[in-house]
Amino acid sequence: MKQTHYVAREPDAQGFIHYPPEEHAVWNTLITRQLKVIEGRACQEYLDGIDKLGLPLDRIPQLGEINKVLADTTGWQVARVPALIPFQTFFELLANKQFPVATFIRTREELDYLQEPDIFHEIFGHCPLLTNPWFAEFTHTYGKLGLAATKEQRVYLARLYWMTIEFGLVDTPEGRRIYGGGILSSPKETVYSLSSEPEHQAFDPLEAMRTPYRIDILQPVYFVLPELKRLFDVAQEDIMGMVERGMQLGLHAPLFTPKAVPPKPKAA
């Protein structure tokens, strides 16, 4: 696991998490800005989820508020976690219909981008669609498969997650829209993902599993669902069979420059 300089906030004896005023102010800046950016760009199912959650603008929501809505819609919950968690914990949570939420928020110095997921990314980016039964079923199935998968298989599953739940697009009668939480929590990627600059491919789960990615750049390629229900349909298919096929075929050539590895210091 990578290291993080963020520390998740602990709840008090009543389960209430106290955030300082500056952190509430950061939330306000993030959510008011992003609600404007996603207009005409987010898919309707996500916008419906935003309405159901009723996220406050002036403060960071408490996890209990989110849990009440999720319980009433799809039976999911959010679970408080540290800034970064192991793959095993991640899959265990999803398999139990619990979505991990790190209870810290980014600083103003990292307002536009940070590598580890904070509470804004998880709550604003992902929780609205967890009120949708198609999305919720796909996420639950993904968790159960990941929990039983080998280390090698999980790498291919991780790419499927990245190309759908984090950075997925969907075609709708109104035009191409965003459903991936990694896009929806980023003002720059929200605009970029729907532009003519990146490549757009029709969604194919096997192809998604074979497509390399980097977490620290704007994505060079996005996979586009024909409709959001396609995720539910994929959950009923032989995903692990696709993983095995992907492992046999290997990866596609990356559409980005590989990240430079710093040279090792020479021995004295």
140 is catalytic: no
Catalytic residue among 45, 92, 121, 186: 121
Rg of the chain in Å (alpha carbons):
18
Nearest to 179 by CA among 227, 142, 220, 133: 227
Residue whose structure tokens are 């406050």: 56
Catalytic residue among 185, 186, 193, 207: 185
Q: How far apart are the first and last CA of the chain?
A: 29
195 is catalytic: no
d(CA 136, CA 192): 26
18 is catalytic: no
Catalytic residue among 92, 116, 166, 207: 166
Nearest to 74 by CA among 40, 110, 98, 44: 98
d(CA 146, CA 144): 6
Q: Centre a 10 Å sphere on the Cβ of residue 42 and count the other Cβ atoms it contains.
A: 22
| Residues flagged as binding site | 121, 126, 166
Catalytic residue among 23, 45, 116, 126: 126
d(CA 200, CA 33): 26
| Residues flagged as binding site for Fe cation | 121, 126, 166
State how far Cα 38 lies from the chain centre.
Answer: 16
φ, ψ dihedrals at 196, nearest 5°: -85, -5
186 is catalytic: no
Residues marked active site are found at 121, 126, 166, 185
